[in-house]
Amino acid sequence: MTSDLRELYQEVILDHNRTPSNFRALEGAAYRAEGYNPLCGDKIQVFLQLDGDRVEEVTFQGAGCAISQASASLMTEAVLGKTVSEARLLFEQFQELVTSETQTPDTDEGLGKLNVFAGVREYPMRVKCATLAWHTLKAALKDSAEPVSTE
């Protein structure tokens, strides 16, 4: 495997693709949204339950590439227990991580495990795969009825 590909398809990503965390519908979830990537036809649903301002439960469902599935899975792990504004901040940091121009970025301590997605920046066509779940989460937080799209 080329080293570039190894950067992208890290073991953590492949593992979460094979056995994603929190991969299920959440019956009676107060917040939910659907995300869609028209480029590849991937669809994802994010379900969210808040306890006051805190993410009490978050799950997802859908089909997609390894990057989008692993990103959704790790996202649910990362935002669980966070406040809504902390989750929003995490999204901003994550977006920065996968799009920043610098060659060898400092990994962001606040991102923890999510740093495995740093390799995505070398693949501009794949940034949308990595951020689809996050865009959908953001929409769920807005309680938007409209399906979001990465376009």
Partner 1 sequence: MSAVKNDASSSAAPIPPFDVARWRRDFPALEQRVHGHPLVYLDNAATTQKPQAVIDAVVRYYREDCSNVHRGVHQLSQRSTLAFEAARERVRAFLGAHHTEEVIFVRGATEGINLVARSFLGPRLQEGDEVLVTAMEHHANIVPWQLVCEEKGAQLAVIPMNDRGEISLDEAEALISPRTKLVAAVHVSNALGTINPVKGLVDAAHQRGIPVLLDGAQAAPHLELDVAALDCEFYVFSGHKVFGPTGIGVLYGKRELLEAMPPYQGGGDMIRSVSFEKTEFNVPPHRFEAGTPNIAGTIGLAAALDYLSGIGLGAVAAYESELLHYATEQLLGVPGVRLIGTAKEKASVASFVIEGVHAHDVGTILDQQGIAVRVGHHCAQPVMDRFGVTSTVRASVSFYNTHDEIDALIGGLEEVLEIFRP
Among 33, 97, 114, 129, binds partner 1 (CB under 8 A): 129
Among 12, 23, 29, 43, binds partner 1 (CB under 8 A): 43
Does the footprint of partner 1 cover residue 127 (CB under 8 A)? no
For the bound state, the minimum distance from the C-beta of residue 125 to partner 1, rounded and expressed in Å, comes to: 8
Residues constituting the chain: 151
Does the footprint of partner 1 cover residue 67 (CB under 8 A)? yes
- Residue 3 CB contacts under 8 Å (≥ 6 apart), including other chains: none
CB of 105 closer than 8 Å to CB of 92: no
**Within 10 Å of residue 109's Cβ, how many Cβ atoms?**
8
Tokens of 37: 């990537």
CB of 13 closer than 8 Å to CB of 70: yes
Does the footprint of partner 1 cover residue 65 (CB under 8 A)? yes
Does the footprint of partner 1 cover residue 4 (CB under 8 A)? yes
Residue 28 or 41 having the CB closest to partner 1: 41
Chain CA centroid to CA 80, Å: 13
- 65-94 core/surface letters (b: 16 or more CB in 10 A; e: else): bbbbbbbbbbbbbbbbebeeebbbebbeeb
Does the footprint of partner 1 cover residue 82 (CB under 8 A)? no
Residue 4 or 106 having the CB closest to partner 1: 4
Does the footprint of partner 1 cover residue 12 (CB under 8 A)? no
Does the footprint of partner 1 cover residue 14 (CB under 8 A)? yes
- Binding footprint of partner 1 on the chain (CB under 8 A): 1-2, 4-5, 8-9, 14, 39-43, 63-67, 69, 123, 125-126, 129
